[in-house]
Chains A and B, each alone.
Chain A
């Protein structure tokens, strides 16, 4: 195509859009980022935090693929800690409170400094096509921007409608416009458009909170940063606080619940079950009298507090009364009301695993428009869509991570093979190969890809290779150091048969980690010098080795089905021998592999057996 304005146009400057645009730029493409406000990129519309369980793994994967999220939170975070530390490292998850404004400023500045990346302040209104392929967009004010690849990352802005009590405000985020023409354009192109709901709590003035009544939740030291690229720095962390609702809260909310649009019928779309509004909670779990509320700072230099757990769409006056029934918030001032927001999304069965739409070549979707929730989920899709848009331009095979490689793979596969019933959020329990997909080994899993697609600096790649080599050596080394069982106070009982044990075997045992061992080693074997990062990696590797071997066998089986590709022209419609329900599902989703087909709801192993036979026949017939 000649005379095009850009290689890639990204619509939406949220967490997905930013990662998509930056990935495009990293791969040397000319990118336009269309967003309403160039100074408000990657804004945290809801909770001022990044990471958490299942999500931190995504952040680390994005980081390993050269993304910006990990670095941005490391620079602008005001409190860091790891969740699940009492469990094994496979489920450790880092979470950080962000200085909301600093985070947005950091990213907006970073984007502004990219050559090849132009931020265009506008609202996209239409996707343009040419000969059945994507050709660009037209903005609501009539500008035409051309590009052979377009990534839609519109967040909650597509057809956004805010609800506070009986009040309805067309908006994509409180106080901001939404995009209304784009949904129609998508429908005209033949896309199914659905509707989802999410919500946010009111914000509070921290100066009016009685902190003494709340429980302090400090940050972790040493500070657990996200990115391998971040240099360690120490600073005074801002604490969070924990409080709870009272009997008065429950009574008040039950008395007024009918005025919430969620109960009045004003909103019919489904919201996430894992993040219910407070009115939902009191009804769905009627026997619970109080609920935890986490008070999270919105940043340094602001007194605004985010009461996590108190999402609501009740009328503003009731919200104010209800908040004041919470312990410590008796005299609190509400700075902004909470609300529920409905928005359009495109059910992701319409996408290939590359996040390109099946219907329109060159049109990619990322983030909330695919039915997900969360900044991390959005960022992860954004970076994948960005990379794949470039590969599309280069006519190269797509970059697809499978379920055994990354949380990103799990998420994308879930999105394109499952029907969305509520906004999708990552959980570790979604990952069947959880013990293999850990925060600590994101680079082990993804750095080869990052290097291949030139997403990272060679210097980082090389130093990581060094780290991997040292880890292997450390594992061997640990196998050679033996301790006398008698010196293992507290663990002696576990060794009835042997008198000595090597550190490698010791580290495999439940309840023993490198921290418990270090003092023992030093006491009895003199000084033990190893790079703590290498030692930690080695210890985790040893701990999970047995399970990872077990999983490896399963992964092998899994990959076999994944590698049985179904050609684009496979006639699902005339497939005989499968049940009608299964045939309809297969027609609708058009799975790209037998593996993907096997994960469709309503498709049984019997149907897969038939499909497999037909597939062989189909391939044979075509020869």
Chain B
């Protein structure tokens, strides 16, 4: 299997789907000659031309809405929002329109649009450019939310997203575009709602998604040195959520810690904890632990930013507290 970076895996997915279906278009700020703010669309303009690789003005509400409308009329748009922070400007279109149209009009029309965006912190870009709000989108029925953590899933989930008949919020981790890994060639689709067991274990379940899979995995390795055998789960999609994988693992281990970069209060980790206590209460040996971002706008200063985000060591501590 060839090795590639996440940005290359995403590009391959887009390219393959564009070759397979003329109705797939890509639009967003600087996706053309510039090749995308994170280099995902490099070379696509040359290959597919300006009718299919469309540079937009800086007007997120407008072009996201246009993507949704195009999807309602037979195109298969991928809309790139440069970063998740700018999706706030388009939330009206995403939530009031994209997520509701299929239901509100009695299933007469579907909205097959993929809205990609880069999320997360760790790049010292400060309070207005460091959000992790995957959980906000997951809160909305009608949306699907994919949160890949590695190159293979980036390709496989994006290809699946592009075959979906519903709006998919596809969230890439800003700090991980340069991550390298093996990626299956050609046709490769990763199902939605199927978590990946990143590490098998029997003593505790550690759950991560998107960028936090890194800390979850690191904790698994550190715990192994202390003879705690952790099972690490990478959710891959938040909606649909692989409840079965979570519950099966927790029933085996009796302990669970959720790791996320997002703010803790009202976060996605709380939803997972609630599901576990509702459906696996009798199997638990300890309360579900949560390791999350500190509840502040992301500070610029490096030592503060480091302190505001979870570490593998904090996850290890949270696991130890369960024993």
Do chains A and B interact in one complex?
no
The chain B residues found within 8 Å of chain A, CB to CB, are none
